């Protein structure tokens, strides 16, 4: 079948048979990032209430409207009915809310990060997103005449045919800086080759077997055929690959974290996971809406669905105790400001310079240092913080670790014995990689009169 539109008009049963779906919707298939199925995937503690009808998801850094468009935030809940939109109208939506005008439609990966698999009808954290309708919600992601959406009834997600005359869904908007936006691909740069048949996904911290169970790593590719297991047997599969004995079947969110939404059949990075011919893989996550069912990932185009546990699918093993980080690789971003207590002083009068180093990134900055540089020779230091060290004409104030969102502020008081003008510079440095070093320098001018 060469036509992509025709390909996605049909869904494939695990055995390969094609099941033609209603043209209104290619049933949305589940996906939700989930650190462990036994506990909530989106606990309330993972969100910051901004007290303006929005929340910020600490796991991703994304800020969400608490209400679907059409509803009104009352200060404690969402009232009214959610509006529905065609896909074309949904992607064109803009909004000014809570003082921001950069709200947008989330992509499919972003939208799925707020799905709560432990809930049903609606499948979302009802404390964080109250009165959420059990509608389908659009994402901005699309393929040809198909677009991704999420069902808030079951938590499922998948591709739906786009027809402006009858295909209408709800919308929840998101905002984030470009550095926090979550991409759809899993490029080679996200992986570390461990040279032993495993790779480590840097975005999540998970170590993966490059081959499905049953295949053999030859040093450059996977040979052989993957074995298939029922769900109960799959959960018991063990391995000692690369000297580790704690390999296990990934939960649904872990397995979906290696989906590459920019690819089709298979929707996976074949450089990292070569010869992935089988498209359906079991996860360890049971389905809460029915007994003896579990979630699998379908690597045709990245969907996740539940199926009876008596069916047999392959497995790909993972290891680590670290839960996936849903979002971009954490980064450090330092910035510096400096101000003076006055712009003009007389000789031998005191002036205080106050500088602040801020880490606006998402990771802690190692050995973050705030530097004051005084170019004048005719200077007397009146007051210097005890933890700041003199080095030539500068003072350096260092903390071993500056957490994301935190600041370091220091003040130094001096006087000058000669008239003139001096330019005081403040710099920030770190042992960590700085995402944007262009804002690490600030300066202030002081005039000294007779």
Residues 29-43 have pLDDT tens digits of 333 333 333 456 788
pLDDT at 16: 38
Question: What is the rounded distance in angstroms from the CA atom of residue 155 to the CA atom of residue 101?
Answer: 28
CB neighbourhood size of 198 (10 A):
21
Give yes or no for residue 118 having a pLDDT over 80.
Answer: no
In order of 150, 205, 287, the CA distances from 27 in angstroms are: 10, 32, 17
pLDDT tens string 132-158: 999 999 999 988 788 888 888 877 777
Q: pTM for the whole thing?
A: 0.60
Question: What is the rounded distance in angstroms from the CA atom of residue 415 to the CA atom of residue 243?
Answer: 65
Q: Are strands 206-209 and 318-319 parallel, antiparallel or unpaired?
A: antiparallel
Give yes or no for residue 27 having a pLDDT over 50.
Answer: no
Structure tokens of 72? 């009104």
Start-to-end Cα distance in the chain: 87
Do the Cβ atoms of 215 and 170 come closer than 8 Å?
A: no
Q: Are strands 344-346 and 441-449 parallel, antiparallel or unpaired?
A: parallel
Query: What are the beta bridge partners of residue 350?
Result: 415
CB-neighbour burial class of residue 445 (10 A; exposed 0-12, middle 13-18, buried 19+): exposed
Question: What is the rounded distance in angstroms from the CA atom of residue 131 to the CA atom of residue 114?
Answer: 15
Structure tokens of 75? 């200060």
Q: What is the DSSP string of 161-206?
A: E--TTT--BB---EE--TTTPPPS---GGGEEE-SSSEEEETTTTE
Report the 3 state secondary structure along 371-383.
EEECCCCCEEEEE
Question: What is the rounded distance in angstroms from the CA atom of residue 205 to the CA atom of residue 218?
Answer: 24
pLDDT at 172: 98
Give yes or no for residue 371 having a pLDDT over 50.
Answer: yes
* Residues with Cβ within 8 Å of residue 181, at least 6 apart in sequence: 107, 110, 328
Give yes or no for residue 18 having a pLDDT over 60.
Answer: no
The DSSP letter of residue 4 is H
For residue 196, name the pLDDT band (cuts at 50, 70, 90): very high
Question: What is the rounded distance in angstroms from the CA atom of residue 325 to the CA atom of residue 342?
Answer: 46
- Looking up tokens 């600030």 gives 442
pLDDT tens string 62-113: 999 999 999 999 999 999 999 999 999 999 998 999 999 999 999 988 898 8
| Domains in the chain, CATH or no CATH each | 44-176 (no CATH), 188-320 (3.10.100), 334-448 (2.60.40.1510)
Do the Cβ atoms of 196 and 239 come closer than 8 Å?
A: no
Identify which of 72-81, 184-193, 401-410 has the greatest average pLDDT. Answer: 72-81
* Length of the chain counted residue by residue: 450
Do the Cβ atoms of 240 and 120 come closer than 8 Å?
A: no
Strand spans (E) along 205-340: 206-209, 216-217, 222-223, 280-286, 293-298, 303-308, 318-319, 334-340
- Looking up tokens 């432990």 gives 118
Q: What is the CA radius of gyration of the chain?
A: 27
């Amino acid at each position: 079948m060469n036509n992509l539109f025709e390909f996605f008009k049909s869904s494939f049963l695990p055995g390969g048979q094609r099941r033609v779906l209603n043209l209104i919707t290619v049933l949305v298939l589940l996906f939700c990032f989930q650190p462990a199925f036994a506990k909530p995937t989106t606990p309330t503690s993972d969100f910051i209430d901004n007290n303006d009808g929005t929340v910020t998801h600490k796991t991703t850094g994304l800020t969400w409207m608490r209400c679907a468009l059409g509803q009104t935030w009352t200060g404690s809940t969402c009232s009214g009915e959610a509006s529905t939109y065609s896909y074309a109208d949904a992607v064109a939506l803009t909004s000014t809310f809570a003082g921001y005008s950069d709200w947008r439609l989330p992509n499919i990966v972003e939208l799925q990060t707020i799905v709560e698999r432990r809930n049903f009808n609606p499948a979302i954290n009802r404390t964080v997103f109250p009165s959420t309708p059990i509608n389908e919600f659009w994402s901005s992601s699309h393929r040809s005449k198909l677009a991704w959406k999420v069902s808030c009834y079951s938590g499922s997600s998948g591709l739906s045919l786009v027809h402006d005359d009858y295909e209408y869904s709800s919308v929840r908007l998101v905002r984030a800086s470009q550095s926090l936006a979550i991409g759809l691909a899993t490029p080679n740069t996200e992986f570390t080759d461990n040279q032993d048949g495993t790779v480590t996904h840097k975005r999540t911290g998970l170590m993966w077997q490059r081959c499905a169970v049953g295949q053999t790593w030859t040093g450059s590719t996977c040979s052989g055929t993957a074995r298939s297991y029922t769900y109960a047997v799959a959960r018991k599969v063990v391995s000692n690959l690369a000297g580790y004995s704690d390999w296990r079947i990934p939960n649904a969110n872990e397995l979906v974290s290696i989906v590459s939404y920019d690819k089709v059949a298979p929707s996976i990075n074949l450089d990292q996971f070569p010869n992935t011919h089988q498209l359906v893989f079991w996860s360890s996550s049971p389905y809460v809406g029915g007994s003896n069912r579990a979630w699998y990932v379908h690597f045709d185009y990245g969907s996740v669905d539940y199926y009876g546990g008596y069916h047999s699918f392959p497995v790909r093993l993972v290891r680590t105790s670290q839960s996936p980080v849903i979002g971009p690789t954490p980064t450090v971003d330092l910035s510096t400001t400096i101000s003076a207590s006055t712009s003009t002083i007389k000789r031998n009068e005191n002036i205080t310079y106050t500088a602040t180093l801020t880490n606006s990134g998402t990771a802690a900055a190692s050995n973050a240092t705030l530097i004051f540089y005084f170019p004048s020779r005719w200077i007397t230091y009146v007051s210097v913080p005890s933890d700041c060290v003199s080095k030539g004409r500068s003072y350096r104030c260092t903390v071993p670790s500056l957490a994301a969102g935190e600041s370091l502020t220091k003040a130094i008081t001096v006087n000058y014995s000669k008239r003139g003008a001096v330019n005081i510079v403040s710099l920030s440095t770190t042992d960590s990689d700085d995402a944007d070093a262009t804002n690490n320098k600030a300066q202030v001018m002081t005039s000294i009169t007779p």
